[in-house]
Amino acid sequence: MEKKCRLLTFLLAAVMVLGICIAPMRVSAAGTVHVTKEDIPDEALWKAIICAAGGNMDNLSEYDEKGYDLDTSVKTLCLELDYRTHLESLKGLELFPDLEVLEILINSGHDARKNIYQHTVENETILNSLANLKSLWINLCVNGTSWKVKNPKLEKLRIDGGTLKSLDVSACTKLKDIFFRGVKFTKLNLAKNKELAYIYLYAPELNNLTLPDSTTLESLHINSKCLTKLKLSKYKKLERLFVDYCTKLKELDVSGCAKLDWLDALDCTELKKLDVSGCTKLKNLYVSGSTKLKELDVSDCTKLESFAVDDCTKLKNLDVSNCKHLTYLNCKGTKLSKLNLKSCKKLEYISIDAYTTKSLALPSNLKQKTEKNYLEIRLRVKKNQTIKLKNYIPSGFQFAGYGKQRTDSDKKPKLAKKNPFPKVVSYNKAKNEVKVLNNKGSYLSSFCFKKGKLEVWITLYGR
């Protein structure tokens, strides 16, 4: 009897403790909790959660006074904050234990830098308590010094700006997609994130980047003014690479990336070495503003279709002879002295700053196009320059003359048999040479070669 009394007393005490524990939650239905501003003290978060839950914003003052019945079993929560909001506390998010997707955004069309989220130890604890979270996006300026993310199921993480100097995602081993824009990181270690497939890093101060030692990486977009080397040859599944404004990058190695389809290197002004050997599936290659790049070998890029090397002023020789699928070639801003186009039988457009070009050899096996039966070659030339033409003899000309430009730039120039402006460009038929006599006009002349129905138009431009 005494044992039964003790057991009953224990059970009553347990019920009382349990009642005390659950009383603040005020559960009114399965998954529904009656909350007040004491549960969600931050004004911006309170308003955003009520709005996301379907509350009538006209009755906000009533909710402030009486509270709101909130469904806390939801798996997706998109919180939209007002413009210029400062989010201080995340208290209240712990009420959503089943949450898988969390987005904290500002009203569309506004600058996130005007909205500040203050990342504190308390806020970090609340976020890390969401054990089922798979996707987190904070579209506010994240203020703080460091953040250690510990959500074990997290797959996507996006942060738009802020003052964070340190971010630790080593505990997020399921992470597949990261997007960091306008962040202040100087160091980022992703070594333990072996399932990463997509990385976007706009981190101007980043000087130390450790990528995972795995083969899952498919897309990398990086913008950093402090990185000096980037070696990616071991990432065999890499398909897309964008390296923008990495002004201290000297070496970029993607050799052996057999699945690489697109490579874009924009304004990497210190880039001296670019290795694309073994990139047998590369279709699009764009290199712009690499003023110290002297050599570029694309002989292995046999699937290359579109190729641009803009403003690479030190590049002298370019061999694209093995690029049998090449249709577009832009070498504007270069000073090429040699260009090998042998076997490029699918070419449709070429643009070259031909100031140092002495001869031009066209592919000997150009094929007729089905939709576009002509090849356009644009050459920017200087006064008194002579270019020897090979393979083809002009069958007709079109000259615009001094200071004149074509108005139908999207159409083929009309064929003319005589040169009405011999003082602009002259043609020596015996030597098959074109000489530029005056380059002050934007558009100087076009001349045409014919091979069956295929027309090859070479257009000269002045300064």
User: How high is the pLDDT of residue 37?
Assistant: 93
Query: Looking at the domain assignment, is residue 233 inside a domain?
Result: no
327's tokens: 């249709």
How are beta strands 156-160 and 135-138 bridged, if at all?
parallel
| 247 found inside a domain | no
What are 433-455's pLDDT values in tens digits?
A: 878 877 666 656 666 666 666 66
Domain that holds residue 451: 373-463
Domain total of the chain:
2
> What's the one-letter identity of residue 441?
G
Residue 128 is part of a domain; what is its CATH number?
3.80.10.10
Neighbours of 250 (CB within 10 A): 15
Contact of 357 with 317, CB cutoff 8 Å: no
In a domain? residue 10:
no
pLDDT in the model for residue 334: 84
In the listed set 182, 197, 216, which residue is the last one of a domain according to the structure? Answer: 182
Q: What is the CATH number of the domain that holds 430?
A: 2.60.40
Q: Please give the Cα distance from 80 to 51 (Å, whole number).
A: 8
In a domain? residue 75: yes
Domain boundary among the residues 166, 182, 198 is at: 182
Query: Which stretches of the chain score pLDDT less than 70?
Result: 1-30, 108-114, 356-357, 361-374, 391-423, 439-455, 461-463
* pLDDT for 212: 92
pLDDT of residue 453: 64
* Residues 233, 185: Cα–Cα separation, whole Å: 25
pLDDT score recorded for residue 426: 77
Q: Is 362:350 a contact under the CB 8 Å cutoff?
A: no
How distant, in Å, are the alpha carbons of 150, 151, 168, 435 from that of 124? 9, 11, 12, 71
Contact 261, 279 (CB under 8 A): no
Beta bridge partner(s), residue 141 = 116
Question: What does the pLDDT read at residue 354?
Answer: 73
pTM greater than the 0.85 cutoff: no
Identity of residue 130: L
In whole angstroms, give the CA distance from residue 304 to residue 262: 10
Q: Determine the 3-state secondary structure of 144 from DSSP.
A: coil
SS3 241: strand
Q: What is the full DSSP assignment across 157-210?
A: EEEE-B---EEE-TT-TT--EEEEES---SEEE-TT-TT--EEEEE-TT--EEE
Any domain includes 316: no
Is 167 within the bounds of a domain? yes
SS3 411: coil
CA distances (Å), 210 to each of 187, 218, 342, 386, in order? 8, 16, 41, 52
User: Cα angle vertex 372, ends 367, 375, to 5°?
Assistant: 60
199 located within any domain: no
Look up tokens 């990616």; give the residue. Answer: 232
Given the DSSP bridges, would you call strands 135-138 and 146-148 parallel, antiparallel or unpaired?
unpaired
Q: How far apart are CA 330 and CA 135, in angstroms?
A: 41
Q: Which of 149, 182, 215 is the last residue of a domain?
A: 182
The pLDDT value recorded for residue 395 is 64
Per-residue pLDDT tens for 144-162?
A: 999 999 999 999 999 988 8
Let me know: does 87 contact 112? Beta carbons within 8 Å: no
Residue 95 has a pLDDT of 95
137 found inside a domain: yes
Please answer whether residues 389 and 422 qualify as being in contact, where contact means their C-beta atoms are separated by less than 8 angstroms.
no
pLDDT, position 454: 66
